[in-house]
Structure 1
Amino acid sequence: MTTATILATPAAVEARRTALLAEPRMRPLAAFAASLRESTGCEVPDADPADGGAAARCLLLLETPGPSIGRTGFVSCDNPTPTGANLRRFLRDAGLPREALLVWNAIPLVIHAPGAKNRAPRAMEVRAGLALLPGLLALLPDLRVCVLAGRAAAAAAPVLHAARPELPLLEMPHPSPTYVCTSPEVPRRIVAALRAAAAFATGAGRAGIAA
């Protein structure tokens, strides 16, 4: 996996954002996020330039941007959060390279009021978020597999199948400590799903849905 700086300081965030504006593979995704901000009036974090951008072969779909997303403005496993730390470890253990990956959210809009605690998305918010996924998929011509992390992301399966019926879908638990700490089986399931995704991303996988 490509080494990247944890987004723990304003300088690290600014360096990453400069790369976002400079990299051609990121421009379609930056424009997509900007269009969502304009059309919805909601905060929408950008995809991480340390990942594969529009050239990604694996889409890792999480649930929603967390309340701390304003610190970086990126959907990233380099965010300085417990979920980010877990995800970095699981990606490393699975051997899924960052250049093959795009991390995004099933509900890309920030649904939390400023200063509010994290909460589960409401049904209306899930529907609104999933309706935006075909627009994202249209920007990912090299996509070979999608990993759905958590219940809200798993609800995206019918939308993804309708838009890209050939795309293998893999399910895994969400990497938040809330779920990871419940059982030793949870980390094993996460790594197994990401390892299978790595195989698809390199052309070695087989079509199907795994939980």
Structure 2
Amino acid sequence: MPSRLRGTLADPAVLAGRAAARGAPHVAALERFAAELRTRHGEVPDADPFDGGVDARLLLLLETPGPGASPLRFVSRDNPTGTGANIRRFTGDAGIARADTLVWNAVPWVIHAPGARNRAPRRGEVAAGLAELPAFLALLPRLAVAVLAGRVAGGARPVVEAAKPGLRVIEMPHASPTIVCTSPAIPARIRAALAEAAAALATAP
């Protein structure tokens, strides 16, 4: 296995450990939520049980699961992608504890046809995803900060603010390498947003 994939969910041992953690109390409600979405929308990866689950204080909202097929998928910073690696790096640099976080998608189901390349969600897909978001947020009673990564997730701000009045909402660029490599200003903006999030967590009840 290439060294860049070791420690990611492409490693069978890592994936087995994640699978063994499914059903843990802190993610059980989130897994039930994902299972219900699957009955209506198809493939929905589970929340990563190595994150904070329903005890999370920070939600990192991304866009949609990428293309690819697997019998077991998670919304995770440990996915073997450039986005996952960037999330690990940027949140680590900000000093944000993994147990405080939960990663999810504005459109939580896979929108790509088998074998298709990655694409942006269509307007109707985004609207359908955001319609499911309030019920998801209701499962997170300790949430103090929502970080919305990218244009699609940024469009969730009115939904998040209506569902969680008073919640600190911070927007930042998406952590995809395609975006991050566009300009030195992009990683600087991501670091600034996550530093703001870390400071908010430090002062939250």
TM-score (norm 2): 0.93
Task: Find the aligned partners of 1:19 and 1:30 in 2 and give their Cα distance.
Answer: 11
1:162 positional shift = 1.1
1:69 positional shift = 6.3
- Where do 1:154-173 residues align within 5 Å? 154-173=154-173
- Where do 1:18-57 residues align within 5 Å? 18-21=20-23, 23-40=24-41, 42-57=42-57
Aligned letter for 1:28?
A: A
Task: Find the aligned partners of 1:28 and 1:151 in 2 and give their Cα distance.
Answer: 28
- Matched residue, 1:146: 146
Tell me, what secondary structure is at the counterpart of 2:33?
Answer: helix
1:71 positional shift = 7.2
CA contact (8 A) 1:45 1:69 kept: no
1:200 positional shift = 1.8
Percent of pairs identical after alignment?
Answer: 60
Deviations 1:133-181 (A, max 9, x none): 0011110000001000011000101111111121111000000011000
Aligned letter for 1:119?
A: R
Tell me, what secondary structure is at the counterpart of 1:114?
Answer: coil
1:104 positional shift = 0.1
| CA-based RMSD | 1.7
1:20 positional shift = 1.8
Task: Find the aligned partners of 1:115 and 1:58 in 2 and give their Cα distance.
Answer: 33
Aligned letter for 1:88?
A: R
- Where do 1:42-81 residues align within 5 Å? 42-68=42-68, 70=70, 73-81=73-81
Task: Find the aligned partners of 2:26 and 2:49 in 1 and give their Cα distance.
Answer: 9
- Matched residue, 1:88: 88
- Matched residue, 1:209: none
Tell me the number of residue pairs that the alignment of Structure 1 and Structure 2 aligns: 200
Distance change in 2, residues 1:17/1:30 (3 Å): same
Tell me, what secondary structure is at the counterpart of 2:59?
Answer: strand
- Matched residue, 1:17: 19
Aligned letter for 1:12?
A: V
Q: Which segments of 5 or more consecutive residues in structure 1 lack a partner in the other structure?
A: 206-211
Deviations 1:176-199 (A, max 9, x none): 011000111111111111121122
Aligned letter for 1:104?
A: W
Task: Find the aligned partners of 2:202 and 2:135 in 1 and give their Cα distance.
Answer: 24
